[in-house]
Protein backbone atom coordinates (compact mmCIF):
# COMPACT_ATOMS: atom_id res chain seq x y z
CA UNK A 1 0.00 0.00 0.00
CA UNK A 2 0.99 3.60 -0.56
CA UNK A 3 1.59 6.25 2.08
CA UNK A 4 -1.05 8.99 1.93
CA UNK A 5 -0.91 12.71 2.60
CA UNK A 6 -3.32 15.60 3.04
CA UNK A 7 -2.54 18.41 0.61
CA UNK A 8 -5.63 20.57 0.90
CA UNK A 9 -8.14 21.59 3.56
CA UNK A 10 -11.48 23.37 3.46
CA UNK A 11 -13.69 24.52 6.31
CA UNK A 12 -16.79 26.64 6.62
CA UNK A 13 -17.52 28.46 9.89
CA UNK A 14 -19.65 26.38 12.24
CA UNK A 15 -22.96 28.15 12.80
CA UNK A 16 -26.16 27.68 14.71
CA UNK A 17 -28.21 28.10 11.54
CA UNK A 18 -26.57 27.92 8.17
CA UNK A 19 -28.70 29.36 5.41
CA UNK A 20 -27.11 27.06 2.84
CA UNK A 21 -28.32 23.55 2.19
CA UNK A 22 -26.31 20.36 2.63
CA UNK A 23 -25.08 20.18 -0.94
CA UNK A 24 -24.00 23.83 -1.01
CA UNK A 25 -22.09 23.53 2.25
CA UNK A 26 -20.47 20.29 1.10
CA UNK A 27 -19.53 21.59 -2.33
CA UNK A 28 -18.11 24.79 -0.86
CA UNK A 29 -15.61 23.04 1.39
CA UNK A 30 -14.76 20.49 -1.33
CA UNK A 31 -13.90 23.33 -3.69
CA UNK A 32 -11.97 25.13 -0.96
CA UNK A 33 -9.90 22.04 -0.19
CA UNK A 34 -9.25 21.45 -3.90
CA UNK A 35 -8.21 25.06 -4.37
CA UNK A 36 -5.86 24.68 -1.43
CA UNK A 37 -4.39 21.62 -3.18
CA UNK A 38 -4.33 23.50 -6.50
CA UNK A 39 -6.37 20.87 -8.34
CA UNK A 40 -9.58 21.06 -10.31
CA UNK A 41 -10.75 17.49 -9.99
CA UNK A 42 -10.45 14.48 -7.76
CA UNK A 43 -11.05 10.83 -8.65
CA UNK A 44 -13.14 9.96 -5.64
CA UNK A 45 -15.26 11.60 -2.95
CA UNK A 46 -16.33 10.05 0.34
CA UNK A 47 -19.10 11.79 2.19
CA UNK A 48 -19.84 11.71 5.89
CA UNK A 49 -23.32 12.73 7.04
CA UNK A 50 -25.25 11.14 9.89
CA UNK A 51 -28.63 12.82 10.11
CA UNK A 52 -29.63 13.87 6.60
CA UNK A 53 -32.07 10.96 6.32
CA UNK A 54 -34.18 12.37 9.12
CA UNK A 55 -33.49 16.09 9.12
CA UNK A 56 -33.28 16.87 5.40
CA UNK A 57 -34.91 13.78 3.87
CA UNK A 58 -31.77 13.28 1.81
CA UNK A 59 -29.78 10.11 1.26
CA UNK A 60 -27.20 9.68 -1.49
CA UNK A 61 -25.45 12.89 -0.52
CA UNK A 62 -21.97 12.05 -1.83
CA UNK A 63 -23.19 11.92 -5.43
CA UNK A 64 -25.20 15.10 -4.89
CA UNK A 65 -22.16 16.99 -3.59
CA UNK A 66 -19.92 15.66 -6.38
CA UNK A 67 -22.41 17.01 -8.93
CA UNK A 68 -22.83 20.32 -7.08
CA UNK A 69 -19.05 20.73 -6.91
CA UNK A 70 -18.85 20.39 -10.67
CA UNK A 71 -17.54 16.83 -10.75
CA UNK A 72 -20.41 14.63 -11.97
CA UNK A 73 -18.87 11.36 -13.06
CA UNK A 74 -16.37 10.77 -10.28
CA UNK A 75 -16.59 8.01 -7.70
CA UNK A 76 -18.77 9.15 -4.81
CA UNK A 77 -19.94 7.07 -1.86
CA UNK A 78 -21.48 7.66 1.56
CA UNK A 79 -19.87 6.31 4.71
CA UNK A 80 -21.02 6.25 8.30
CA UNK A 81 -20.09 5.22 11.79
CA UNK A 82 -22.82 6.91 13.82
CA UNK A 83 -21.31 9.92 15.63
CA UNK A 84 -17.83 9.07 14.26
CA UNK A 85 -19.09 9.41 10.70
CA UNK A 86 -16.64 12.11 9.61
CA UNK A 87 -13.71 9.89 10.53
CA UNK A 88 -15.20 7.03 8.51
CA UNK A 89 -15.19 9.27 5.43
CA UNK A 90 -11.56 10.15 6.13
CA UNK A 91 -10.65 6.48 6.45
CA UNK A 92 -12.31 5.55 3.15
CA UNK A 93 -10.56 8.36 1.30
CA UNK A 94 -7.34 7.17 2.89
CA UNK A 95 -7.97 3.59 1.70
CA UNK A 96 -8.91 4.51 -1.85
CA UNK A 97 -5.57 6.29 -2.26
CA UNK A 98 -3.58 3.75 -0.25
CA UNK A 99 -4.94 0.92 -2.40
CA UNK A 100 -4.17 2.83 -5.64
CA UNK A 101 -7.85 2.74 -6.63
CA UNK A 102 -7.65 6.54 -6.86
CA UNK A 103 -4.82 9.05 -7.03
CA UNK A 104 -6.69 12.02 -5.64
CA UNK A 105 -9.55 11.76 -3.20
CA UNK A 106 -11.56 14.10 -1.05
CA UNK A 107 -13.19 13.30 2.27
CA UNK A 108 -16.04 15.65 3.03
CA UNK A 109 -18.30 15.86 6.03
CA UNK A 110 -21.43 17.95 6.36
CA UNK A 111 -24.23 18.19 8.90
CA UNK A 112 -27.16 20.50 9.52
CA UNK A 113 -28.61 19.83 12.95
CA UNK A 114 -30.30 23.15 13.63
CA UNK A 115 -33.72 22.17 12.42
CA UNK A 116 -35.77 19.07 13.11
CA UNK A 117 -35.85 16.49 15.85
CA UNK A 118 -32.18 15.90 16.53
CA UNK A 119 -32.33 13.88 19.74
CA UNK A 120 -34.33 10.89 18.44
CA UNK A 121 -32.31 10.85 15.23
CA UNK A 122 -29.07 10.82 17.24
CA UNK A 123 -30.41 8.05 19.44
CA UNK A 124 -30.47 5.74 16.44
CA UNK A 125 -26.74 5.34 17.12
CA UNK A 126 -27.91 3.25 20.11
CA UNK A 127 -29.66 -0.12 20.09
CA UNK A 128 -33.13 0.53 18.67
CA UNK A 129 -34.58 -2.58 20.29
CA UNK A 130 -32.98 -2.66 23.72
CA UNK A 131 -31.86 0.86 24.58
CA UNK A 132 -34.10 3.39 22.84
CA UNK A 133 -37.41 1.76 23.90
CA UNK A 134 -36.44 2.12 27.55
CA UNK A 135 -35.70 5.80 27.14
CA UNK A 136 -32.00 5.87 26.41
CA UNK A 137 -30.54 8.78 24.44
CA UNK A 138 -26.96 9.71 23.67
CA UNK A 139 -27.01 12.21 26.53
CA UNK A 140 -28.59 9.82 29.02
CA UNK A 141 -25.94 7.18 28.33
CA UNK A 142 -23.18 9.74 28.79
CA UNK A 143 -24.83 10.97 31.98
CA UNK A 144 -24.68 7.37 33.23
CA UNK A 145 -20.97 7.30 32.48
CA UNK A 146 -20.32 10.62 34.23
CA UNK A 147 -22.30 9.65 37.33
CA UNK A 148 -20.52 6.30 37.57
CA UNK A 149 -17.17 8.01 37.11
CA UNK A 150 -17.66 10.66 39.78
CA UNK A 151 -18.98 8.08 42.26
CA UNK A 152 -16.43 5.36 41.68
CA UNK A 153 -13.47 7.68 41.85
CA UNK A 154 -14.92 9.87 44.55
CA UNK A 155 -14.11 12.87 42.38
CA UNK A 156 -15.37 16.39 43.13
CA UNK A 157 -18.71 17.23 41.50
CA UNK A 158 -16.95 19.89 39.45
CA UNK A 159 -14.01 17.65 38.53
CA UNK A 160 -14.59 17.99 34.79
CA UNK A 161 -15.14 21.73 34.41
CA UNK A 162 -11.62 22.25 33.08
CA UNK A 163 -12.45 20.50 29.80
CA UNK A 164 -15.08 23.02 28.84
CA UNK A 165 -12.99 25.98 30.00
CA UNK A 166 -10.05 24.81 27.87
CA UNK A 167 -12.18 24.24 24.79
CA UNK A 168 -13.80 27.67 24.93
CA UNK A 169 -10.42 29.28 25.58
CA UNK A 170 -9.01 27.69 22.42
CA UNK A 171 -12.04 28.46 20.28
CA UNK A 172 -11.53 32.19 20.71
CA UNK A 173 -8.88 32.37 18.01
CA UNK A 174 -10.40 29.86 15.61
CA UNK A 175 -12.32 31.78 12.92
CA UNK A 176 -14.41 28.67 12.19
CA UNK A 177 -15.49 28.07 15.77
CA UNK A 178 -19.09 28.46 16.83
CA UNK A 179 -18.24 30.03 20.20
CA UNK A 180 -15.57 32.58 19.37
CA UNK A 181 -16.70 35.22 21.83
CA UNK A 182 -17.81 32.91 24.56
CA UNK A 183 -14.95 32.10 26.91
CA UNK A 184 -16.29 30.50 30.05
CA UNK A 185 -15.10 30.42 33.64
CA UNK A 186 -15.08 27.36 35.88
CA UNK A 187 -17.85 29.01 37.86
CA UNK A 188 -20.00 29.42 34.75
CA UNK A 189 -19.63 25.73 33.93
CA UNK A 190 -20.47 24.73 37.49
CA UNK A 191 -23.53 26.95 37.54
CA UNK A 192 -24.79 26.19 34.03
CA UNK A 193 -28.18 24.58 33.68
CA UNK A 194 -28.39 20.90 34.46
CA UNK A 195 -29.41 19.16 31.24
CA UNK A 196 -29.39 15.54 32.26
CA UNK A 197 -27.86 15.09 35.73
CA UNK A 198 -24.99 15.20 36.31
CA UNK A 199 -24.35 16.65 32.82
CA UNK A 200 -24.71 20.43 32.64
CA UNK A 201 -25.20 22.59 29.57
CA UNK A 202 -21.55 23.55 29.43
CA UNK A 203 -20.47 19.91 29.53
CA UNK A 204 -22.11 19.39 26.13
CA UNK A 205 -21.02 20.09 22.59
CA UNK A 206 -23.63 22.20 20.80
CA UNK A 207 -26.21 21.37 18.14
CA UNK A 208 -24.95 23.16 15.02
CA UNK A 209 -24.30 23.19 11.28
CA UNK A 210 -21.03 22.90 9.41
CA UNK A 211 -18.89 21.26 6.75
CA UNK A 212 -15.21 20.48 6.25
CA UNK A 213 -13.09 18.59 3.73
CA UNK A 214 -9.56 17.37 3.07
CA UNK A 215 -7.84 16.34 -0.16
CA UNK A 216 -5.65 13.23 -0.10
CA UNK A 217 -2.92 12.13 -2.54
CA UNK A 218 -0.06 9.62 -2.43
CA UNK A 219 2.60 10.90 -0.03
CA UNK A 220 5.32 10.65 -2.63
CA UNK A 221 3.45 13.15 -4.80
CA UNK A 222 2.39 15.45 -1.99
CA UNK A 223 5.01 18.13 -2.61
CA UNK A 224 3.68 18.64 -6.11
CA UNK A 225 0.38 19.81 -4.64
CA UNK A 226 1.33 21.61 -1.48
CA UNK A 227 4.25 23.28 0.21
CA UNK A 228 2.90 22.10 3.57
CA UNK A 229 1.60 18.54 3.23
CA UNK A 230 0.79 16.39 6.21
CA UNK A 231 1.13 12.62 6.16
CA UNK A 232 -1.51 10.30 7.54
CA UNK A 233 0.71 7.89 9.43
CA UNK A 234 -2.10 5.53 10.34
CA UNK A 235 -5.83 4.98 10.24
CA UNK A 236 -7.68 2.38 12.30
CA UNK A 237 -11.06 1.29 13.57
CA UNK A 238 -12.01 -0.84 16.53
CA UNK A 239 -15.39 -1.65 18.03
CA UNK A 240 -16.65 -2.79 21.42
CA UNK A 241 -19.71 -4.61 22.65
CA UNK A 242 -22.49 -2.47 21.23
CA UNK A 243 -24.17 -1.74 24.55
CA UNK A 244 -22.47 -0.29 27.61
CA UNK A 245 -24.22 -2.92 29.71
CA UNK A 246 -22.42 -5.74 27.94
CA UNK A 247 -18.95 -4.42 28.75
CA UNK A 248 -16.96 -5.64 31.75
CA UNK A 249 -16.26 -2.05 32.78
CA UNK A 250 -18.27 0.76 31.15
CA UNK A 251 -15.63 3.31 32.15
CA UNK A 252 -12.90 1.51 30.24
CA UNK A 253 -13.33 2.47 26.59
CA UNK A 254 -11.75 -0.66 25.15
CA UNK A 255 -12.41 0.30 21.52
CA UNK A 256 -10.58 3.60 22.05
CA UNK A 257 -7.65 1.78 23.56
CA UNK A 258 -7.55 -0.90 20.87
CA UNK A 259 -8.03 1.46 17.98
CA UNK A 260 -5.17 3.63 19.29
CA UNK A 261 -2.96 0.60 19.86
CA UNK A 262 -3.45 -0.51 16.25
CA UNK A 263 -2.87 2.99 14.91
CA UNK A 264 0.24 3.58 17.02
CA UNK A 265 1.68 0.28 15.82
CA UNK A 266 0.95 1.12 12.19
CA UNK A 267 2.43 4.60 12.62
CA UNK A 268 5.32 3.29 14.68
CA UNK A 269 4.85 5.92 17.38
CA UNK A 270 4.34 5.88 21.13
CA UNK A 271 2.08 7.87 23.39
CA UNK A 272 5.07 10.05 24.23
CA UNK A 273 5.42 11.02 20.58
CA UNK A 274 1.96 12.63 20.49
CA UNK A 275 2.29 16.41 20.43
CA UNK A 276 -1.44 17.13 20.75
CA UNK A 277 -4.71 15.26 20.73
CA UNK A 278 -7.87 16.30 18.91
CA UNK A 279 -10.19 14.53 21.29
CA UNK A 280 -13.88 13.72 20.79
CA UNK A 281 -15.15 15.97 23.60
CA UNK A 282 -18.84 15.61 22.75
CA UNK A 283 -19.27 15.63 26.53
CA UNK A 284 -16.66 16.49 29.18
CA UNK A 285 -16.78 12.92 30.42
CA UNK A 286 -15.96 11.61 26.93
CA UNK A 287 -12.75 13.63 26.82
CA UNK A 288 -11.82 12.46 30.29
CA UNK A 289 -12.41 8.77 29.59
CA UNK A 290 -10.54 8.92 26.28
CA UNK A 291 -7.47 10.40 27.99
CA UNK A 292 -7.58 7.50 30.42
CA UNK A 293 -8.25 4.81 27.80
CA UNK A 294 -5.21 5.91 25.83
CA UNK A 295 -2.96 6.04 28.88
CA UNK A 296 -2.46 9.79 29.17
CA UNK A 297 -3.73 9.37 32.73
CA UNK A 298 -4.47 6.38 34.97
CA UNK A 299 -8.11 5.37 35.48
CA UNK A 300 -9.86 7.94 37.63
CA UNK A 301 -7.18 10.57 37.11
CA UNK A 302 -8.07 11.98 33.68
CA UNK A 303 -9.94 14.89 35.22
CA UNK A 304 -6.76 16.00 36.97
CA UNK A 305 -5.13 16.70 33.61
CA UNK A 306 -7.87 19.27 33.08
CA UNK A 307 -7.85 20.57 36.62
CA UNK A 308 -4.08 21.03 36.50
CA UNK A 309 -4.29 22.68 33.09
CA UNK A 310 -2.14 20.03 31.45
CA UNK A 311 -4.59 19.90 28.52
CA UNK A 312 -3.88 23.51 27.56
CA UNK A 313 -1.78 24.54 24.59
CA UNK A 314 1.36 24.66 26.75
CA UNK A 315 0.40 21.65 28.86
CA UNK A 316 1.58 18.06 28.88
CA UNK A 317 -1.05 16.94 26.37
CA UNK A 318 -2.86 19.77 24.59
CA UNK A 319 -6.38 18.76 23.52
CA UNK A 320 -9.16 20.44 21.55
CA UNK A 321 -6.56 22.92 20.39
CA UNK A 322 -8.93 24.85 18.14
CA UNK A 323 -11.96 24.63 20.39
CA UNK A 324 -12.86 20.97 20.16
CA UNK A 325 -16.35 19.62 19.73
CA UNK A 326 -17.36 21.66 22.77
CA UNK A 327 -16.59 25.12 21.42
CA UNK A 328 -15.69 24.84 17.76
CA UNK A 329 -18.89 22.83 17.47
CA UNK A 330 -19.87 19.25 16.62
CA UNK A 331 -21.75 19.09 13.31
CA UNK A 332 -21.43 15.34 13.44
CA UNK A 333 -20.59 14.18 9.93
CA UNK A 334 -18.16 17.09 9.58
CA UNK A 335 -16.49 16.96 12.98
CA UNK A 336 -13.53 14.68 12.25
CA UNK A 337 -12.85 16.58 9.04
CA UNK A 338 -12.69 19.85 10.98
CA UNK A 339 -10.28 18.13 13.33
CA UNK A 340 -8.18 16.88 10.42
CA UNK A 341 -8.02 20.43 9.04
CA UNK A 342 -6.97 21.75 12.45
CA UNK A 343 -4.31 19.08 12.78
CA UNK A 344 -2.92 20.09 9.39
CA UNK A 345 -2.74 23.71 10.56
CA UNK A 346 -0.99 22.72 13.79
CA UNK A 347 1.54 20.42 12.14
CA UNK A 348 2.44 23.03 9.54
CA UNK A 349 2.83 25.87 12.00
CA UNK A 350 -0.26 27.73 10.85
CA UNK A 351 -2.40 27.55 13.96
CA UNK A 352 -1.80 31.20 14.88
CA UNK A 353 -2.36 32.05 18.51
CA UNK A 354 -3.33 28.42 19.15
CA UNK A 355 -0.09 27.00 17.86
CA UNK A 356 1.20 24.04 19.85
CA UNK A 357 4.97 24.26 20.14
CA UNK A 358 7.02 21.60 18.39
CA UNK A 359 3.92 19.99 16.98
CA UNK A 360 5.24 16.86 15.28
CA UNK A 361 2.58 14.21 15.72
CA UNK A 362 -1.15 14.92 15.86
CA UNK A 363 -3.67 12.40 17.16
CA UNK A 364 -7.34 12.28 16.18
CA UNK A 365 -9.96 10.04 17.74
CA UNK A 366 -13.63 9.81 16.90
CA UNK A 367 -16.37 8.18 18.90
CA UNK A 368 -19.33 6.37 17.32
CA UNK A 369 -22.22 5.79 19.70
CA UNK A 370 -21.17 5.37 23.31
CA UNK A 371 -17.62 4.45 22.31
CA UNK A 372 -18.96 1.45 20.40
CA UNK A 373 -17.01 2.38 17.28
CA UNK A 374 -13.69 4.19 17.59
CA UNK A 375 -11.57 5.54 14.77
CA UNK A 376 -8.00 6.71 15.29
CA UNK A 377 -5.88 8.68 12.84
CA UNK A 378 -2.27 9.72 13.38
CA UNK A 379 -0.68 12.56 11.42
CA UNK A 380 2.77 14.06 11.03
CA UNK A 381 4.34 16.97 9.17
CA UNK A 382 6.40 15.97 6.16
Beta bridge partners of 316: none
Q: Check residue 118 for interaction with its own copies (CB under 8 A).
A: no
* Host H or E run for residue 8: strand 4-11
Q: Check residue 59 for interaction with its own copies (CB under 8 A).
A: yes
Least Å distance, CB 1 to its own copies, is 5
In terms of phi and psi (left: phi > 0; alpha: psi -120 to 50; beta: otherwise), the region of 45 is beta
Task: Please give the Cα distance from 20 to 331 (Å, whole number).
Answer: 14
Query: In terms of CB distance, is 169 or 243 closer to its own copies?
Result: 243
Query: In terms of CB distance, is 97 or 345 closer to its own copies?
Result: 97
Least Å distance, CB 276 to its own copies, is 25
Least Å distance, CB 51 to its own copies, is 9
Query: In terms of CB distance, is 289 or 356 closer to its own copies?
Result: 289
Q: Check residue 329 for interaction with its own copies (CB under 8 A).
A: no
SS3 state at 36: helix
Query: In terms of CB distance, is 58 or 301 closer to its own copies?
Result: 58
Q: What track of x and - describes contact with its own copies for positions 64 through 83 (by CB under 8 A)?
A: x-xxx---xxxxxxxxxxx-
Residue 278: partners with Cβ closer than 8 Å, 6 or more residues away: 319, 320, 321, 324, 339, 342, 343, 362, 363, 364, 365
Query: In terms of CB distance, is 45 or 341 closer to its own copies?
Result: 45
Q: Check residue 127 for interaction with its own copies (CB under 8 A).
A: yes
Q: Check residue 253 for interaction with its own copies (CB under 8 A).
A: no
Q: Give Cα separations from 268 to 77, 222, 361 (angstroms).
A: 30, 21, 11
DSSP notation for 125-171: GS-TTTTGGGT--HHHHHHHHHHHHHHHTT--TTTTHHHHHHHHHHH
Specify the stretch interacting with its own copies by CB under 8 A; choose among 110-118, 177-185, 253-261, 304-312: 253-261
| Helix runs in 210-283, H state only | 222-225, 254-267
Binding to its own copies, residues 341-370 (CB under 8 A) = 368-369
Residue 54: partners with Cβ closer than 8 Å, 6 or more residues away: 116, 117, 120, 121
Least Å distance, CB 129 to its own copies, is 7
Q: Is-contact 29 313, C-beta < 8 A? A: no
Q: Residues for the chain: how many in total? A: 382
Residue choice 42, 90, 110, 125 for contact with its own copies (CB under 8 A): 125
Q: Check residue 53 for interaction with its own copies (CB under 8 A).
A: yes
Q: Is-contact 100 319, C-beta < 8 A? A: no
Q: Check residue 238 for interaction with its own copies (CB under 8 A).
A: yes
Least Å distance, CB 7 to its own copies, is 19
Query: In terms of CB distance, is 205 or 258 closer to its own copies?
Result: 258
Q: What track of x and - describes contact with its own copies for positions 188 through 227 (by CB under 8 A)?
A: ----------------------------------------
Q: Is-contact 198 150, C-beta < 8 A? A: yes
Specify the stretch interacting with its own copies by CB under 8 A; choose among 25-33, 104-112, 121-129, 312-320: 121-129
Query: In terms of CB distance, is 132 or 195 closer to its own copies?
Result: 132
Binding to its own copies, residues 7-36 (CB under 8 A) = 21
Residue 28: partners with Cβ closer than 8 Å, 6 or more residues away: 10, 12, 20, 211
* Host H or E run for residue 347: helix 332-347
Residues interacting with its own copies, by CB under 8 A? 1, 21, 44, 50, 53-54, 56-60, 62-64, 66-68, 72-82, 88, 91-92, 95-96, 98-101, 124-129, 132, 235-242, 246, 254-255, 258, 368-369, 372-373
Amino acid sequence: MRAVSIVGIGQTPVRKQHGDNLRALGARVVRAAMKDARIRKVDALFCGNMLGDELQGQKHLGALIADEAGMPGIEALDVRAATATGAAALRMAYMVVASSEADRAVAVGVEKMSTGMVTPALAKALDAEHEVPVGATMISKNADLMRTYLQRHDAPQDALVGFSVNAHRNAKHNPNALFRDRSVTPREVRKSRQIHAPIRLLDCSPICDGAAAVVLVPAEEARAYSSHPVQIMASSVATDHFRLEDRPDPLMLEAARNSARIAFRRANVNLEDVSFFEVHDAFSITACLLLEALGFAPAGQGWRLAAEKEIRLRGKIPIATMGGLKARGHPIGATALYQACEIVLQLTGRAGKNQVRNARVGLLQSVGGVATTMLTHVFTAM
